C-alpha cells in the first residue's frame, strides 16, 4: 500500500516539474527545488523499502553463485602455496586499539552500509589480507589486559605487566626504582638501528600507551609529562614519556598525533585554543620539547605542523623529519573531526608513508587507530565503529602506496572489548538498529549492539529503558549494558592478526601476542634473528630465498612458457 502511495506522490511531483508549459513559465530555481523534493521522496521510498523487506541480491538464490564464489576463493587459497619469502624492506603495523573480532565484523557492516550495501557481504581492506592468526592478549599479571602491557608485547616482543611500557615483567607499575635494568627495546628501534626510517602515527596523543612502548621505558603509562609523575619518581631519575619520545631514539622520522599539552611548559597557552586554560602546557621542568626538536632538525629538512593545512602543504619529497601535533591531547573522534583543521588518520598515513619510503633501506611505521577503544569505553559504539572504518581506509591508502612484494603489513588489535551484536537481526539491518523482536520477558525492544558492562546501563522507573523512546542511532548513544560502570571494560578473548607481504604466512595459528614483532623483524632481517639473511650484501633478492626444490618447477615453468 505505502509503496503504491509513494509512487503516486512521485508521479504527480514529476508531472508538475516536467510538464512542458510549466517548465516554460517557472524559474530555474523553482525547478531545482522541486527536483530536490523528488530526490528526497525517492530516497525515503528506498529507506522505507529497506525497512519493510529483507532484501538480498537476487543472485544469492542461485546455488551456482555460492559455488562459483567459493571456487574463486579456493583458487586464491591454492595460490598461497607460492609463499612470499622476500626480505621485507618495509614494515607497517596497523594497531586498532580495542578492535576485537566483533568490532571488526560490525565495522565491516557499517562500511558497507555507508556505501549503500547491506554490509554483511562487504570486504574490509583487512579482510583481503591472505593470512590470519589469533593473538592471545593477556598481560603477565592480568587475564584481561590493558594497552600498555600489550603494546610492550607486540612492539618489544616481551610480555609485560599491565600499565607498563617498554619494560619487562620484572618492573612493577608505578615503582620508579624497578625501571633500571628492566628496559626492553622495540622493533622501531631495531629498524632505526638497521638504517631504516621510522614513524609513529596515532589518533591518540603521541605519548599514549600504544605508541609509547615503541620508544619509552616507563613503569607507568600515565606519566605523560613530568607534571603527571610523583616527586619521588622524578627525584629517583625516572623520565616522563613525552621527554623520552624526543630523547631515547635519535630522531624518529615521523611523529603524528595529539599531545601538545605534554610538550610545553606549564602556563603556556595552547596554539589552537589559547583561551582554554585547560589546554595549557603542563611541564614542570620548563622545557619546550617542540622548540628543542625544531632546533635539532631544522637543518635536516625537519618540519613541525599543528594543523591540516600546514600538513598538506608540505611536499613529502622535501621532508625527512616531521612532527605533527594536532590537538593538546587525543585527536577528536572521526565523526566529530574538524575537517578543516585536523587531518584524518588516512591523510596522516598518506604523508607519513610518502616521507618514509624515500629511504632506500626501507621503513617501519606504526599506525594506531587509537580511539576505537575510547568509543567503546564510553559505550558509544557508533564512535568506535567509525574509528575502525577510518583505520580501514588508512589501510587501503597504505596498500596503494606500497607493494606486497617488499612490504609486510600487519593489522591487529591490542585487546578486545565487552562489545557484542546479535539478536537475530535480518540481512541489511542497520548495524545501529533494533533486533526484530521484543524481549519476551519485559516486552521492550533492544538494540542489536549491547555491552557486557559500561555507562549504558540505565533504569527508568526501576526497569530497563524502552530504547524506542530514545534516538539510538545518534552518534553518542550509549548502548545498554548488563552492569553499570563509568567506563566499559576491555574484553579478554583473542584478537585477530591479519597479514600480507613477505613472511606474512608466519603469522598463522593461535599465537602469543609477543610473537608478532619477532616475525616482523625476521621478515625484515633486523633484530635478533638474521641467520637466514644474506651476509654478503644488504640488498634483497627473491631468488636467494627460494629452495632448490622450488627452483626446479620454476625452471620447468619458465622453459614451457
Ligand X SMILES: *[C@@H]1O[C@H](CO)[C@@H](O)[C@H](O)[C@H]1NC(C)=O
Binding site: which residues? Answer: 97, 208, 210, 368, 373, 377, 414-415, 490
Phi-psi region of 518 (alpha: psi -120 to 50; beta: other; left: phi over 0): alpha
Report H helices in 84-230. Answer: 101-114, 147-151, 187-193, 209-212
CB 89 within 8 A of CB 406: yes
Quote the least distance from Cβ 195 to ligand X, whole Å.
Answer: 39
Evaluate the CA torsion angle 373, 378, 379, 380 in order and state its sign.
negative
From CA 396, how far away is CA 398, in angstroms rounded?
5
From CA 428, how far away is CA 123, in angstroms rounded?
15
Quote the least distance from Cβ 474 to ligand X, whole Å.
Answer: 16
From CA 63, how far away is CA 253, in angstroms rounded?
53
Quote the least distance from Cβ 440 to ligand X, whole Å.
Answer: 12
Complex with ligand X: residue 358 or 444, whichever CB lies closer: 444
Question: What is the number of other CB atoms lying within 10 angstroms of the CB of residue 451?
Answer: 26
Residues that bind ligand X (CB under 6 A): 175, 177, 267, 269, 277, 280, 443-444, 466, 468-469
Which residues are CB-contacts of 129 (< 8 A; sequence separation ≥ 6)?
409, 411, 498, 499, 500, 504
Active site residue 541: no
From CA 189, how far away is CA 58, in angstroms rounded?
53
Complex with ligand X: residue 231 or 315, whichever CB lies closer: 231
Complex with ligand X: residue 238 or 391, whichever CB lies closer: 238
Partner from ligand X, Zn ion, none binding residue 280, C-beta < 5-8 Å depending on class:
ligand X
Annotated binding site for Zn(2+): 97, 373, 377, 414-415, 490
CB 113 within 8 A of CB 376: no
From CA 214, how far away is CA 220, in angstroms rounded?
15
Partner from ligand X, Zn ion, none binding residue 452, C-beta < 5-8 Å depending on class:
none
Complex with Zn ion: residue 327 or 373, whichever CB lies closer: 373
170, 174, 176, 177 alpha-carbon torsion, rounded to 10°? -50
CB 38 within 8 A of CB 13: yes
Quote the least distance from Cβ 171 to ligand X, whole Å.
Answer: 11
Question: What distances in angstroms separate CA 314 from CA 29, 89, 201, 301, one per listed residue?
Answer: 41, 25, 17, 11
Closest CA to 394 of 374, 414, 365: 365
Partner from Zn ion, ligand X, none binding residue 466, C-beta < 5-8 Å depending on class:
ligand X
Angle among Cα 538, 540, 546 to the nearest 5 degrees reads: 130
Complex with ligand X: residue 71 or 267, whichever CB lies closer: 267
Residues that bind Zn ion (CB under 5 A): 373
Partner from Zn ion, ligand X, none binding residue 51, C-beta < 5-8 Å depending on class:
none
Question: What is the number of other CB atoms lying within 10 angstroms of the CB of residue 441?
Answer: 7
From CA 423, how far away is CA 540, in angstroms rounded?
52
Quote the least distance from Cβ 269 to ligand X, whole Å.
Answer: 5
Quote the least distance from Cβ 342 to ligand X, whole Å.
Answer: 23
Complex with ligand X: residue 269 or 316, whichever CB lies closer: 269
- Residue nearest Zn ion by beta-carbon distance: 373
Complex with ligand X: residue 340 or 471, whichever CB lies closer: 471
Q: One of 44, 73, 147, 468 is an active-site residue; which one? A: 147
Partner from ligand X, Zn ion, none binding residue 469, C-beta < 5-8 Å depending on class:
ligand X
Quote the least distance from Cβ 423 to ligand X, whole Å.
Answer: 16
Partner from Zn ion, ligand X, none binding residue 464, C-beta < 5-8 Å depending on class:
none
Partner from ligand X, Zn ion, none binding residue 143, C-beta < 5-8 Å depending on class:
none
Annotated binding site for Mg(2+): 97, 208, 210, 368
Show the cell assigned to 268: 603556556
Point out the residues that are catalytic: 147
Amino acid at each position: 500500500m505505502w509503496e503504491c502511495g509513494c509512487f503516486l506522490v512521485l508521479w504527480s511531483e514529476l508531472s508538475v516539474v516536467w510538464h512542458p508549459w510549466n517548465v516554460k513559465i517557472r524559474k530555474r530555481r523553482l525547478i531545482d527545488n522541486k527536483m530536490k523534493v523528488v530526490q528526497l521522496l525517492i530516497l525515503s521510498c528506498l529507506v522505507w523499502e529497506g525497512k519493510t523487506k529483507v532484501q538480498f541480491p537476487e543472485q544469492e538464490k542461485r546455488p551456482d553463485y555460492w559455488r562459483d564464489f567459493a571456487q574463486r576463493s579456493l583458487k586464491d587459497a591454492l595460490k598461497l602455496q607460492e609463499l612470499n619469502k622476500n626480505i621485507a624492506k618495509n614494515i607497517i603495523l596497523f594497531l586498532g586499539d580495542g578492535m576485537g573480532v566483533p568490532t571488526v565484523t560490525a565495522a565491516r557492516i557499517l562500511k558497507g552500509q555507508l556505501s549503500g550495501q547491506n554490509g554483511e557481504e562487504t570486504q574490509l581492506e583487512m579482510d583481503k589480507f591472505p593470512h590470519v592468526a589469533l593473538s592471545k592478549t593477556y598481560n603477565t599479571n592480568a587475564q584481561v589486559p590493558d594497552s600498555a602491557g600489550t603494546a610492550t608485547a607486540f612492539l618489544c616482543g616481551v610480555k609485560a605487566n599491565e600499565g607498563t611500557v617498554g619494560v619487562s615483567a620484572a618492573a612493577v607499575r608505578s615503582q620508579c626504582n624497578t625501571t633500571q635494568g628492566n628496559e626492553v627495546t622495540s622493533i622501531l628501534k631495531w629498524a632505526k638501528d638497521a638504517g631504516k626510517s621510522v614513524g609513529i602515527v596515532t589518533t591518540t596523543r603521541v605519548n599514549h600507551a600504544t605508541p609509547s612502548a615503541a620508544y619509552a621505558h616507563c613503569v607507568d603509562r600515565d606519566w605523560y609529562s613530568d607534571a603527571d609523575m610523583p616527586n619521588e619518581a622524578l627525584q629517583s631519575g625516572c623520565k616522563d614519556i613525552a621527554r623520552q619520545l624526543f630523547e631515547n631514539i635519535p630522531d624518529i622520522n615521523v611523529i603524528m598525533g595529539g599531545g601538545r599539552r605534554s610538550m610545553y611548559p606549564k602556563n603556556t597557552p595552547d596554539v589552537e585554543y589559547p583561551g582554554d586554560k585547560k589546554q595549557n602546557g603542563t611541564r614542570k621542568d620548563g622545557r619546550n620539547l617542540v622548540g628543542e626538536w625544531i632546533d635539532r632538525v631544522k637543518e635536516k629538512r625537519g618540519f613541525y605542523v599543528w594543523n591540516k593545512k600546514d600538513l598538506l602543504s608540505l611536499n613529502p619529497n622535501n621532508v625527512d623529519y616531521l612532527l605533527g601535533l594536532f590537538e593538546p591531547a587525543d585527536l577528536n573522534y572521526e565523526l566529530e573531526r574538524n575537517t578543516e583543521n585536523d587531518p584524518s588518520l588516512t591523510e596522516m598515513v598518506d604523508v607519513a608513508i610518502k616521507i618514509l619510503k624515500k629511504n632506500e633501506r626501507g621503513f617501519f611505521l606504526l599506525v594506531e587507530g587509537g580511539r576505537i577503544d575510547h568509543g567503546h569505553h564510553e559505550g558509544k559504539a557508533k564512535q568506535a565503529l567509525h574509528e575502525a572504518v577510518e583505520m580501514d581506509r588508512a589501510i587501503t591508502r597504505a596498500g596503494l602506496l606500497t607493494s606486497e612484494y617488499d612490504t609486510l603489513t600487519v593489522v591487529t588489535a591490542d585487546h578486545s572489548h565487552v562489545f557484542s551484536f546479535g539478536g537475530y537481526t535480518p540481512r541489511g539491518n542497520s548495524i545501529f538498529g533494533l533486533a526484530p523482536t521484543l524481549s519476551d520477558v519485559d516486552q521492550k525492544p533492544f538494540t542489536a549492539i549491547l555491552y557486557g558492562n559500561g555507562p549504558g546501563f540505565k533504569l527508568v522507573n526501576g526497569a530497563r529503558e524502552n530504547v524506542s523512546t530514545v534516538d539510538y542511532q545518534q552518534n553518542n548513544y550509549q548502548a545498554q549494558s548488563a552492569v553499570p560502570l563509568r567506563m566499559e571494560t576491555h574484553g579478554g578473548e583473542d584478537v585477530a592478526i591479519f597479514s600480507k607481504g613477505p613472511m606474512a604466512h608466519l603469522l598463522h595459528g593461535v599465537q602469543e601476542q609477543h610473537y608478532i614483532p619477532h616475525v616482523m623483524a625476521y621478515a625484515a632481517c633486523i633484530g635478533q634473528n638474521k641467520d637466514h639473511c644474506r651476509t654478503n650484501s644488504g640488498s634483497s633478492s627473491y631468488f636467494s630465498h627460494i629452495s632448490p626444490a622450488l627452483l626446479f618447477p620454476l625452471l620447468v615453468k619458465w622453459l614451457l612458457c
